[in-house]
Amino acid sequence: MQLTDTKQREYSREEVAKHDNQDSLWVVRGNQVFDLTTFHTDHPGGSEILMQFGGQDITEVLRDSDVHAHSIEAYRVLKDFYIGEIVASDRRPLSKPVDGKDEMDCIEDVDFLDIHKPLMAQMWWSSFSKDVYIREVHRPRHLPRPAVFFANPFLEKFTRTPWWVIPIYWTPIMLGLLYLGSEYERAQVMAIGFVFGLISWTLMEYSIHRFVFHYDENIPEGTIYQCAHFLLHGVHHFLPMDSMRLVMPPALSTFLALHILAILSCVLSMGMLHAVCAGLIVGYVLYDECHYWLHHGTSQNLYLNQLKTYHLRHHYKDFKAGFGITSDFWDKVFGTQFASPEY
């Protein structure tokens, strides 16, 4: 696929090789040059992996399953960072994969949302079929900054939630529930209810993600339903590394929490109700913070890295499996693990 740009330039491989650090990170793929300076910190596999190949030709690295065989969606993201071509005297024949088709030629050019313009206006005035919408919203794009939802700055503020807002908002509520509950039940009973709520959250986390956030193909035809889906979870798959859309806005989580509270109040006594809800809140806060880390964190811990790989596979390879966030336990129970163990 010949990428073109009005500002296209040509570079020698020697010149590209100088851009091998976090302040200027370039790579070559075939005879095309890409500037990944603003992307390496958001790379699903971690910044350190990209840093190993700064200034180098990554054509075969992208295909190497020992490093990590990349999907077509990875090439779609890479395409956005194209800056030019290798000079004619430095060009090399492009090796083809086993099937003989260049990966860049497999990328479909589809008229969907422009990530550089306010998204909600585009969604509201769109006329995508449900099939096109579901397919395209689950094809990840990347921006080096938070996307813009609304042109109006006041409305835009309500669409962005930093990760640290979640514990600040929910911790006082959780402590208040424990205090009020202690007026009805002994500490031992409260502790049991709290642990039950904490453990129950793992199933609730899985269920909400699978049956609510990924209602997907079951949504009715129509723009208004697509807008609702986009706001609820679609945008997170469309822009998975957007740091301001990784945790649930308190307004939405409070709305869901009130419905859960209403249901639990029908079956639990006072005191136990407070304890279970407090446990659910702690589980939710841990989940949301863990979710943010899975997209932007780094660690030497093997389990955490496996969890990160597992979740990012849900985003970059198969959104119809791998619904567990803090654990794959319920995926194993309900048979929604990925078809093959490799990422």
Q: Can you say which residues are annotated as belonging to the binding site for Zn(2+)?
A: 209, 214, 233, 236-237, 291, 295, 311, 314-315
Which of 141, 83, 65, 155 minimizes the C-alpha distance to 107?
141
The single-letter code of the amino acid at 211 is F
**Backbone angle region of 30, left / alpha / beta, with phi > 0 → left and psi within -120 to 50 → alpha:** left
Q: For 75-108, give one letter per residue: b (16+ CB within 10 A) or e.
A: bbbbeebbbbbbeeebeeeeeeeeeeeebbeebe
**Measured CA distances, 247 to 55, 241, 326 (Å):** 34, 11, 14
Which of 37, 136, 21, 138 minimizes the C-alpha distance to 80?
37
Binding residues: 43, 70, 209, 214, 233, 236-237, 291, 295, 311, 314-315
CA distance 162 to 246: 8
Binding residues for heme: 43, 70
Which of 283, 309, 146 minimizes the C-alpha distance to 208?
283
Q: For strand 82-86 and strand 32-35, is the pairing parallel, antiparallel, or unpaired?
A: antiparallel
The residue behind tokens 């000079």 is: 87
